[in-house]
Chains A and B, each alone.
Chain A
Amino acid sequence: MSGHGNTYVPKSALAKWFESRLPLVGLVHSSFVSFPVPRNLNYFWTFGAILIAMLVSQIVTGVWLAMHYDPSAANAFNSVEHIMRDVNYGWLLRYMHANGASMFFVAVYVHIFRNLYYGSYKAPREVLYILGVIIYLLMMATAFLGYTLPWGQMSFWGATVITSILGAIPVVGDTIQSLLWGGYSVGSPTLNRFFSLHYLLPFMITGVVVLHVWALHVTGQNNPAGIPIKSGKDAVAFTPYATIKDVFAAVVFFAFFAYWIFYQPNYLGHADNYVPANPAVTPAHIVPEWYFLPFYAILRAVPDKLGGVILMFSAVLILALAPWLDTSRVRSCNYRPIYRQFFFLFVVVCILLGWLGAKPPEGGYVIAARLCTAYYFLHFLLVMPLVGLFETPKALPGSILETVTGPGKQVGGSGMPVGAAAAPSSKG
Chain B
Amino acid sequence: MANTAADPDSTHGAPDGTRRDFMFLATGAGLAVGAGALAWPFVASMAPDAETIAAGAPLEVDLSPIQEGQIVNVFWRGKLIFVRSRSEKEIKEAAAVPLSDLIDPQPDAARVKDGHAKWLVVYGNCTHLGCVPIGHQGQYEGWSCPCHGSLYDTSGRVRRGPAPANLPIPPYLFESETKIRIGEEGGKAVA
The residue that B52 contacts in the complex, of A163, A184, A300, with Cβ under 8 A, is: A184
**Closest CB of chain B to A369's CB: distance in Å?**
12
**Closest CB of chain B to A367's CB: distance in Å?**
14
Are A305 and B78 in contact (CB-based, < 8 A)?
Answer: no
- B105: Cβ under 8 A from any A Cβ: no
* A184-B77, A281-B132, A304-B164 as given contacts; A178 in contact with B47, CB under 8 Å: yes
- B147: Cβ under 8 A from any A Cβ: yes
Contacts of B124 on A, CB cut-off 8 Å? 280
- B24: Cβ under 8 A from any A Cβ: no
- A67: Cβ under 8 A from any B Cβ: no
Mark B9-48 against chain A: 1 for CB-CB distance below 8 A, else 0.
0000000000000000000000000000000000100111
Contacts of B49 on A, CB cut-off 8 Å? 182, 189
- A22: Cβ under 8 A from any B Cβ: no
- Number of contact residues on B: which range applies? 20 to 34
- B162: Cβ under 8 A from any A Cβ: yes
**Closest CB of chain B to A310's CB: distance in Å?**
14
* A184-B77, A184-B79 as given contacts; A284 in contact with B48, CB under 8 Å: no
The residue of chain B having its C-beta at the shortest distance from the C-beta of A302 within the complex is B162
Contacts of A173 on B, CB cut-off 8 Å? none
**Closest CB of chain B to A74's CB: distance in Å?**
14
Q: How far is it, in angstroms, between the C-alpha of A304 and the C-alpha of B124 when the chains are bound?
A: 21
Are A279 and B78 in contact (CB-based, < 8 A)?
Answer: yes
Are B79 and A300 in contact (CB-based, < 8 A)?
Answer: no
- A413: Cβ under 8 A from any B Cβ: no
The residue that A164 contacts in the complex, of B48, B78, B130, B161, with Cβ under 8 A, is: B130
Mark B98-131 against chain A: 1 for CB-CB distance below 8 A, else 0.
0000000000000000000000000011001111
Q: Of A165, A179, A183, A185, which is in contact with the most chain B CB atoms at under 10 Å from its CB?
A: A183
- B56: Cβ under 8 A from any A Cβ: yes
Are A165 and B129 in contact (CB-based, < 8 A)?
Answer: yes
**Closest CB of chain A to B75's CB: distance in Å?**
7
Q: How far is it, in angstroms, between the C-alpha of A282 and the C-alpha of B73 when the chains are bound?
A: 13
Contacts of B128 on A, CB cut-off 8 Å? 164, 305
**Closest CB of chain A to B167's CB: distance in Å?**
14
Are B129 and A361 in contact (CB-based, < 8 A)?
Answer: no
Are A187 and B78 in contact (CB-based, < 8 A)?
Answer: yes
- B189: Cβ under 8 A from any A Cβ: no
The residue that B148 contacts in the complex, of A160, A184, A284, A361, with Cβ under 8 A, is: A361
* A182-B49, A184-B52, A280-B73 as given contacts; A303 in contact with B131, CB under 8 Å: no
**Closest CB of chain A to B67's CB: distance in Å?**
19
Q: How far is it, in angstroms, between the C-alpha of A281 and the C-alpha of B48 when the chains are bound?
A: 24
**Closest CB of chain A to B25's CB: distance in Å?**
31
- B149: Cβ under 8 A from any A Cβ: yes
- B66: Cβ under 8 A from any A Cβ: no
The residue of chain A having its C-beta at the shortest distance from the C-beta of B43 within the complex is A179
Contacts of B80 on A, CB cut-off 8 Å? 279-280
- B146: Cβ under 8 A from any A Cβ: yes
Contacts of A45 on B, CB cut-off 8 Å? none
Residues from 155 to 169 in A contacting B, C-beta threshold 8 Å: 157, 160-161, 163-165
Are A178 and B48 in contact (CB-based, < 8 A)?
Answer: yes
The 12 sampled A-B contact pairs (Cβ below 8 Å) are A164-B125, A182-B52, A183-B77, A184-B48, A184-B78, A185-B77, A185-B79, A189-B48, A280-B75, A285-B146, A303-B162, A305-B164
Which 4 A-B pairs give the minimum distances between C-beta atoms? A184-B77, A185-B78, A164-B130, A282-B131
Give the interface of B toward A (CB within 8 A). 43, 46-49, 52, 56, 73, 75, 77-80, 124-125, 128-132, 146-149, 161-164
Known: A280-B75, A286-B131. 5 other contacts (CB 8 A): A181-B48, A183-B78, A279-B80, A282-B132, A304-B164
